[in-house]
Structure 1
């Protein structure tokens, strides 16, 4: 969701946000010329953005207990001085000072009235509000949602509204203060602590805070009388009768006065979608045994995927089959409850991820199409292919099906320097490419790394280096590898097709 949040920002806020990010990688001064090159702008424009950043930083320092010291010199450049935590606070300040983000926060927290009232109370023109709503609509479409522009509310299924609200508010406020003004953070924290303790789950502070946010979103919308609709099969996924007899569950129902069964189904389904919950043998057994007893489509599909995967790709080690099954189960349940949504339960845009090779994704999409199982879950082919790719890469290299690229080295370096260079190149690129690094004696290499390019004037894919390699050497070599891999992959996929 962070990338989508960035896209909502006004252009000037995007620029100063990126300038802050660039400054993190500089120990001293960040030169204006370097900023201009990175952002593809002229130096005069960069100077204007730096002056705007100075104004924002001054506002931030006036309202925060921590401060950021900003220094700008025409000849030296820009320097930001503070601890990393405060720099993140400054970035958050920029985000929710943005007009579009501010409006969406109000909508998520159900604080808006009519469009006209919002415009007048915030001294914003109706045109600016409309412009913000246009950008928000593009994001909401990824959750199958839209906007009622007369009263600035969300339109669509309540379950989708809740998962969007959670992901967005988490992205904005996870490093900031509690945004739910009329819901007690301490009270929910106490409930979450008891839940994890009774379930026997050791969890991190971040995971605990995520559960706080999701619980708060559900309570907030329930109290405002936005209720979860009834959905087919949910009673097969959650044993609500047995859970009502659980002392903790019944106590929490009374504490929060959430008596609607659909609300309870939804909260418990979201719990089932999170792999970390299956670290508790008690919870895992309770969930999976009930799905097995009911022979749900989620459970039976997971069995089919596990069986077919081993026949198509490789045998999963016995001691790791539990990981495979539960991870797939969570993904299948998520696709069933939230079809057509591009984001996983943690707010990561799965469909736009570029972490896996085209060859692997192509094979996994074909694998999904070949599964002989009737369920609407399999319609989420793009989403599931990325999930299965993540599982695949847990056991094997994600580049297993990529054509091998041979890097040849021809240099006057001593033997051990050449050997170290081979190791460094493998270490740097083996997660992204299917590589072999050799001496260029045989002449079979696809890419040549050399200190004497004059000997190879007629060759393609020649990278000139010195040792030790600098960052620009790695960047140049990576660009050549990408070009070559794209060409080889296209040919490979055409052959398979």
Structure 2
């Protein structure tokens, strides 16, 4: 399940979707276009347009972003410069909602009852009860509940912390420190201390993400909420040299409160493994993987089964980065079966299910889903029940290492122009930059006897059949050219896929 702003406020969700839509393109959008794109009623469309205009004028007092209106054209955003701070506008919108203020009160555990909180928010206690019930329903799918009476966040503690992390990171993105009860500078020094003189090299953004997670853990423990160890955790960490070095480092911090081999220590280590998905930390991840292989842990066995499925007909070897990183994917799926996004709340499933074209890597998606079902049948490991999450993560691996070409039908293109060799190559390069991750395309040379699926030409001259798959292009590809090529690729992909069934 995807976490989005609808959990906070449905009108805010639509307002932010409108902002994203208008920001995406400099063109004018009519009211009807906005209504269709957002899938809402005409009255709600007018309401959120008015609200967005008001919020923009209030927040951007210097007119950095202005909603322009024109009776004949519609609406569009005027944005001054490229460094306008968008994240702060999102924070401003979210922090002004009752739901988010309620969530903060639940996190800090200073919520007493609906009546007292309604006085703080200048609203009715009936509104607070309604908002609380909506938030309660929204958190249930993640195994997180709001208790009645004293109203605190409870549930499986690992899930509670991940949920809090996702909500805070998606809203604040590290731009502002949102934890008023935790010293930001202290947490920054602690995070730096944890990775100094280690094999871990984090980017500034990854450091900030680690600081958020440490702060959330501190807040939860202050209120008596502790992580409980699961049966399989010791198999991954007992006598693991990577984990031993990690906890030795953490425990040497002067004010450390995490005990050796404690569930809290292990959970923090797991979060580091999951977060550290980059080449600079590959040595650490590889050493951890080699240990799990030596111990033949269940996580290794499941990752090895995935590795075997990739090794057939490819150059993917067991210690290939794709396999090492997949261990972290499997660790996440094992820890958080209720979540379909990554550690920061980002879903990548749309990379295999994009709106344009509709069949974007549809065959690869089906192959991956079939693979996951097969892995669950053969391993009986519950982590493979996290199909949506794993489909998106495996999909990124398939794209990066170009494994998707084995499953998508090949579409042949040919250029027939009066341009020079390098001008034609530039056109090929441009088309590939748009579509190579979407389709299995190949360009035929000038004298190839093969019949192309799509002929691209800037002329009406030549011995070429005038078919629906001949596209007249401009010497410099226009947006219209690109869009039409995409439509034809999508159409041909569908035809070839249905024929091969």
Q: TM-score, normalised by structure 2?
A: 0.79
Q: Which is worse superposed, 5-14 or 81-90?
A: 5-14
Which residue number corresponds to residue 296 of structure 1? Answer: 297
Partner of 1:398: helix, strand, or coil? Answer: helix
Distance 2:398 2:329 in 1: 14
Distance 1:287 1:334 in 2: 15
Distance 2:218 2:51 in 1: 39
Q: Which of the two has greater helix per residue?
A: 1
Give yes or no for contact 2:457–2:472 (8 Å, CA) kept in 1: yes
Residues 50-89 of structure 1 correspond to what in structure 2 (within 5 A)?
51-61=50-60, 68=64, 70=66, 72=68, 74=70, 79-81=78-80, 84-89=83-88
Which residue number corresponds to residue 398 of structure 1? Answer: 404
Distance 2:225 2:264 in 1: 10
Corresponding position: 1:477 with 2:485: yes
Label 1:423 to 1:67 Cα distance change in 2 as closer, same or farther (>3 A): closer
Distance 1:251 1:303 in 2: 35
Residues 438-449 of structure 1 correspond to what in structure 2 (within 5 A)?
438=444, 444-447=451-454, 449=456
Partner of 2:153: helix, strand, or coil? Answer: strand
Measured after TM superposition, the shift of residue 271 of structure 1 is 1.7
Corresponding position: 1:15 with 2:23: no
Structure 1 stretches of 5 or more lacking a match?
A: none
Give yes or no for contact 1:17–1:94 (8 Å, CA) kept in 2: no
Label 1:451 to 1:44 Cα distance change in 2 as closer, same or farther (>3 A): farther
Corresponding position: 1:348 with 2:349: no
Measured after TM superposition, the shift of residue 126 of structure 1 is 5.3
Q: Which is worse superposed, 122-131 or 196-205?
A: 122-131
Instruction: Report Cα offsets for 1:399-422 as digits up to 9, x if no partner.
Output: 3321112345567x5565666544
Distance 1:126 1:440 in 2: 77
Corresponding position: 1:330 with 2:328: yes
Measured after TM superposition, the shift of residue 448 of structure 1 is 5.2
Partner of 2:338: helix, strand, or coil? Answer: coil
Q: CA RMSD in A?
A: 4.1
Which residue number corresponds to residue 357 of structure 2? Answer: none
Which residue number corresponds to residue 275 of structure 2? Answer: 274
Measured after TM superposition, the shift of residue 185 of structure 1 is 1.4
Measured after TM superposition, the shift of residue 193 of structure 1 is 0.8
Residues 343-492 of structure 1 correspond to what in structure 2 (within 5 A)?
343-354=341-352, 357-371=361-375, 372-407=378-413, 413-414=418-419, 420-438=426-444, 444-447=451-454, 449=456, 460=468, 463=471, 465-492=473-500
Q: TM-score, normalised by structure 1?
A: 0.80
Measured after TM superposition, the shift of residue 218 of structure 1 is 0.9
Label 1:268 to 1:420 Cα distance change in 2 as closer, same or farther (>3 A): closer
Which residue number corresponds to residue 186 of structure 2? Answer: 187
Q: Which is worse superposed, 235-244 or 94-103?
A: 235-244
Give yes or no for contact 2:399–2:437 (8 Å, CA) kept in 1: no
Give yes or no for contact 1:115–1:149 (8 Å, CA) kept in 2: no
Measured after TM superposition, the shift of residue 286 of structure 1 is 5.9
Measured after TM superposition, the shift of residue 74 of structure 1 is 4.0
Distance 1:384 1:468 in 2: 40
Measured after TM superposition, the shift of residue 58 of structure 1 is 4.3
Give yes or no for contact 2:293–2:300 (8 Å, CA) kept in 1: yes
Give yes or no for contact 1:16–1:49 (8 Å, CA) kept in 2: no
Which residue number corresponds to residue 232 of structure 1? Answer: 231
Residues 306-325 of structure 1 correspond to what in structure 2 (within 5 A)?
306-310=307-311, 312-316=312-316, 321-325=319-323
Q: Say how many residue pairs are matched.
A: 481
Give yes or no for contact 2:158–2:227 (8 Å, CA) kept in 1: yes
Label 1:276 to 1:433 Cα distance change in 2 as closer, same or farther (>3 A): closer
